[in-house]
Amino acid sequence: MLTLYHWEPNANSGKPMLALMEKGVKFDSHYLDLLNFDQHSPDYLKINPNGTIPALVHDDLMLTESTAIMEYVDAAFPGPSLTPEDPVERWRMRWWMRFFDQYFAPSLSMIGWQVFVGPSVRDRDPELLKAAIERIPLKERRIAWSKAIYNTFSPEELAESRRRVAVGTLCLEEALSERPWIAGPTYSLGDINGFNLGYALPLAQPLLCNDEKTPHIMKWLRAIYARPAAKATWTMGRTQMAQRITFLES
C-alpha cells in the first residue's frame, strides 16, 4: 500500500508527487485542501499527528518531511534513479535542497501566505477561524496561520523575506549558469525540489526572475516542465495555482 497525502503540486506537496511520477511509481493520491484545514482534521491527525503535509504511507511506515520522503521514494522503488551516482553531485544535491528548504522557501512562503493564503480564508466566520487555529498541533504552524489570517506580519520581516528571495534567485541563477542541473550533469531530486519552489517565480517576482535577468533559471524551469512527469503532476492540481504553470510552455 502506498498513499500520498498532499495538497496542490506546489512547495512541499509537489516534491514527492513529482518524484513518484518521474519514477513511474503507482500511488494512491489523497488530496487535502490546505485552505479548508483538512490537514488538521481528526482523521488525518490519526495518520500524521503533526497535521502537516505531505505525508507518505508505505505499508506500516508513515513518512514526513518532503525532501526526506523524496530520498526514500528514490531508494525504495524501481524506476529511473533521481540521485546522481557521483558522490560529489550527491553532496551538491543535498546542499541545494537544504538551501531551498531552509533559506529560500521559508521566505517565499511567508510572502505567499501574506498575499495569498491569508486573503483566501480571512473572510470566513471569525469564530470558526479562531477554533481552526486552536486545533493546529504545531506551535510554528499556529503562528503562521494566525499571522496570515490576521495579517500581523511586521514590515521588517516581510522586507527581510523579499531580500532573501532576491538573494536566493541570484544564487540559483549563478549555479545554473555553471551547470545544466542543480547537482551537475544529472537531473536529480534537487531539480524536483527547486522546481516546486521556483516554478511560479517569474509570475510572482517578475522583476527578479525573467528571460533577461535570469535566463538560466527560465531555461531550467521550461526544461523541467517539458518533462512528461511534470505535466502529469501539475494536472493533479485542482486550483488556479496549479493551472498558471502553463506559462512555461511558451
Partner 1 sequence: MLELYHGEPNIFSLKPLVVLQEKGLDYTGHYVGPLDFDALPAAVKAVMEVRHNPEGDGPVLVHRDVAMTESFFIALYLDDAFADVPLRPRDASGRWRVLMWGRFVNEVLAPSVTTLGCHKHLAPLLKTRNRDEIAQRIEAMPTEERREAWRAALDDTYSADLIADSRRKIGLAIKKVEDALAAGDWLAGPAYSLVDIDVFALLAPVPALAPDLLDGTTAPRTSAWLARVRERPAVVAALAKSRTGAPQESFVPGPEHSRWG
Ligand X SMILES: N[C@@H](CCC(=O)N[C@@H](CS)C(=O)NCC(=O)O)C(=O)O
Rg (CA), the chain: 18
- Binder of residue 175, out of ligand X, partner 1, none (CB less than 5 to 8 A by kind): partner 1
Cβ proximity of 19 and 230 under 8 Å: no
Cell of 207: 522583476
Given the complex with ligand X, which of 136 and 175 has the nearer CB atom?
136
* Distance separating alpha carbons of residues 52 and 137, to the nearest angstrom: 9
Out of 4, 17, 34, 189, the residue judged to bind ligand X by CB under 6 A: 34
Residue 221 sits in the site that holds ligand X (CB under 6 A): no
Out of 65, 103, 120, 137, the residue judged to bind ligand X by CB under 6 A: 65
Binding residues for ligand X restricted to 2-21, rule: CB under 6 A: 11-13
DSSP 103: I
Which helix (H) or strand (E) element contains residue 238?
A: none
**Residue whose C-alpha cell reads 488525518 in the numeric block:** 44
Q: What share of the chain is helix, strand, coil (3-state, %, to 5)?
A: 65, 5, 30
CA dihedral 184, 186, 187, 191 (to 10 degrees): -20
Lay out the site mask for ligand X across 86-105 (x = CB under 6 A, - = otherwise). --------------------
Residue 56: exposure state from Cβ atoms within 10 A (0-12, 13-18, ≥19)? buried
Given the complex with partner 1, which of 95 and 150 has the nearer CB atom?
95
Given the complex with partner 1, which of 53 and 245 has the nearer CB atom?
53
- Binder of residue 90, out of partner 1, ligand X, none (CB less than 5 to 8 A by kind): partner 1
Interface residues toward partner 1, by CB under 8 A: 61, 63-65, 67-69, 71-72, 75-76, 87-88, 90-92, 94-95, 98-99, 102-103, 106-107, 109-110, 140, 144, 157, 160-161, 163, 167, 171, 174-175
Out of 18, 21, 27, 52, the residue judged to bind ligand X by CB under 6 A: 52
Q: Say if residue 78 is preceded by a cis peptide, omega within 30 of 0.
A: no
Binding residues for ligand X restricted to 100-159, rule: CB under 6 A: 136, 141, 144
Which helix (H) or strand (E) element contains residue 61?
A: strand 61-63
Residue ranges in contact with ligand X by CB under 6 A: 11-13, 34, 39, 52-54, 65-67, 136, 141, 144
